[in-house]
A and B are shown apart, each in its own frame.
Chain A
Amino acid sequence: MRILQRHRQLPIAILGVLVVLATPATAWAHAFGIRYDLPLPLWLYLGGAGAAVALSFAIMAVFLRDRGNDVEDVSFNLLSVPFLGWLASPVLLNLIRLLSVSVFFLLLTAGLLGHPDPFRNIAPTFIWVIWWVGMAFVSVLAGNLWDLLNPWKIIYTWVAWAMGVSQSGGTLPRTYPTWLGRWPAVWFFLIFAWMELISEAAEQPHMLALLIITYSVLTWTGMRIYGRDSWLENCEVFSVLYGLLARFAIFRGQTNEKSSGISGGKSGELRLRLPSVGLLTNQPVHISGIFFVLLLLTSVTFDGILETPLWAAILTWISESRSLRPALLSLQDNGIELLNLIKTVALIILPAIFISAFMLTAQAIRWAEGRSLTILPVAGYFVLSLVPIAIAYHLSHYLSYLLIAGQNIIPMLSDPFGVGWNLFDTKGYAVDIGIVNAKMIWYIAVSAIVIGHVLAVYLAHVMAFRVFPSRARALRSQIPMLILMVAYTMVSLWILSQPIIS
């Protein structure tokens, strides 16, 4: 920003090109609401980075002696404990499902008929804060609850059962084409990320209702054609996303479909396991899955990057670039919002950078260990080990947002449609910003990222020992991976320590 202070014309130039066209509604890069976090102080940033590097070497040293392979076997079925058996009772599960569907219809109604102001209608706060951000936290901590709560899955199952639609046989459902993999989910995620990070329209209740309807139609049609479970596993973007995050959790729940009706009996299992071991795999992830994971990593850091002075400098450079000016002006004349266009381009370039960096690392791993595998399986085996770092950053970036902006749900529950009700007498509730202060967030953020990094390095080592023919090769293969992870962790910490420019 010193550049701006020296040349007085620059702020006006930028304003002229960009701010005039930016929607006056919000001045923040964020989807909805504000974060009150302070940037990490330098000593904490450096301390965290140092700790991450030091602990990485400690883990490598551990693996010099030990294979650490049976971590997945350390698990325990909570439902075998007598007084916890009720957790799986069909009555409870169906009550929860009913609650989820009710909330679904409440949000749809609020979006269609409620007040159009996003700050007086329950839909934007619930969807963007409680659900989009909150469900990620829940998945990471409590496991794949989305599988239980998914309203699209529930409604389809109940309607299909009521209408006597068969789940197999006949011309429908068709077999899902394996070559398609998770590409539909990748595309949906890109669109969703764009709406969350760039578009301001998705804050509007009416727009949210339309999006819900569109997505519901697409989802239910897809389920009808390819079968409910195939669709959920490959194309239903939230199932893929929250399923991926839930692999980190210490809880792993499975419902037994047959007894999810009225017949009672044991409804599944709820296993307790070590954190992050769900990200270990015996099969390499399909290339579409690799892209999905890397797109997730990118979208998580994207929001933070848009607030850094680096991004502001990029925007400055673009706005004063002589070569780009005619193209930009003609686009502007055709009604395109330049700032959103530039951000959209960034949303495509950043994943490309992440994917290239990862593929280069995969190639380096191959080179280091002697090429016993080709590049796609290497990428497919190791991509999941990066997830703990993304989770840690996501938690750090959004924790205060969830706890502060999330409190708005309390008054909103009393007046979901913004028409002046006070159902639960919470209308006058004032958000308490002291619930978690900036210093606490700093310490949680750095601890989370260091722990995430340590888990990531650990997972990658376990995978290397599983996948490469000899111990020596496995250890050598981890050097490129370690470099990538340290770089990724540094970038995450760096973003958190940057002065925030809105």
Chain B
Amino acid sequence: MNSTANPQNGIESGRESRRRCLLALATLVMCPMISAIAKADEASNKILVHRKFKLDVRDGEIVADIKTIRVNEGEAVEIIWTSDRRTELHLHGYNILLQVKPNRPATMGFLAQTAGRFPIGAHMFGHNTLIILEVFPK
């Protein structure tokens, strides 16, 4: 903004500087308010959504006719596995290994922090994919 030496401008610049002071003050007051709101928002986002699944493996396959489990990014996932045989389960990507003994439920628990499509395989004969975990982005 151009300012030329002018008595009228003296009054203008007085108003101007007051306006600026008020603006600065308002900003200073707003900042903690904004950060408080933001923190409250974060806190509400921090409410963890829990997802639980129960899967039964028989003869190298999941008994129920499900091919995919779908969860959302940021959710806490719990998969409770039972198997008729000794199996080692592998969740790819997240790289979680779980030993399952016959007829004893074992839990695979993790935070789904990365979106994507992750196969869960059984290390029995080679690497058969049992089911796919799909984590959808927010």
Contacts and interface: CB of A to CB of B under 8 A. Distances in A.
A38 B134 contact: yes
A434 B112 CA distance: 11
A107 B137 CA distance: 38
Interface in A1-50: 1, 5, 23-27, 34-38
B95 interface: yes
Most A-side CB within 10 Å, residue of B94, B117, B126, B127:
B117
Interface in A431-487: 431, 433-434, 437-439
A437 B128 contact: no
A34 B117 CA distance: 10
A419 interface: no
A406 to B, nearest CB: 14
B92 interface: yes
B116 A38 contact: yes
B87 interface: no
Which of A36, A400, A439 counts the most B-chain CB atoms under 10 A from its CB? A36
Contacts of A27: 119, 121, 126-129
Interface residues of B, number: 25
Interface in B82-117: 92-95, 113-117
B115 A502 contact: no
Nearest to A38: B117
A175 to B, nearest CB: 52
Contacts of B128: 24, 27
A26 B137 CA distance: 28
A38 B116 CA distance: 5
A37 B114 CA distance: 11
A437 B125 contact: no
Contacts of B95: 430-431
B41 interface: no
Chain B residues touching A, majority SS: loop
A502 B114 contact: no
Nearest to B128: A27
B119 to A, nearest CB: 7
A500 interface: yes
Interface string B119-135: 10100011111001011
Contacts of B117: 35-38, 438, 500
Given A5-B65, A38-B134, A439-B137, A433 B114 contact: yes
Contacts of B93: 34, 36, 404, 433
A417 to B, nearest CB: 23
B136 interface: yes
A433 B118 CA distance: 11
Contacts of B119: 27, 34, 502
A502 B119 CA distance: 10
Given A25-B127, A27-B127, A27-B128, A38 B136 contact: yes
Contacts of A34: 92-93, 119
Interface in A147-185: none
Contacts of B134: 38
Contacts of A404: 93
A34 B127 CA distance: 12
Interface string A52-76: 0000000000000000000000000
Interface in A393-449: 400, 404, 430-431, 433-434, 437-439
A26 B134 CA distance: 20
B116 A438 contact: yes
A36 B116 contact: yes
Contacts of A438: 114-117, 135, 137
B116 A24 contact: no
B129 A502 contact: yes
Contacts of A38: 115-117, 134, 136-137
A286 B125 CA distance: 49
A74 B121 CA distance: 53
Interface string A490-502: 0000000000101
A437 B65 contact: no
Contacts of B136: 38
B48 to A, nearest CB: 18
A201 to B, nearest CB: 15
B70 to A, nearest CB: 10
B116 A437 contact: yes
24 contacts: A5-B65, A23-B126, A24-B125, A24-B126, A24-B127, A25-B127, A26-B126, A27-B126, A34-B119, A36-B118, A37-B117, A38-B117, A38-B134, A430-B95, A433-B94, A434-B113, A437-B73, A437-B114, A437-B116, A437-B137, A438-B114, A438-B117, A438-B137, A500-B117
Given A37-B116, A37-B117, 10 more contacts: A23-B126, A24-B125, A34-B92, A34-B93, A38-B117, A433-B93, A433-B94, A437-B73, A438-B115, A438-B137
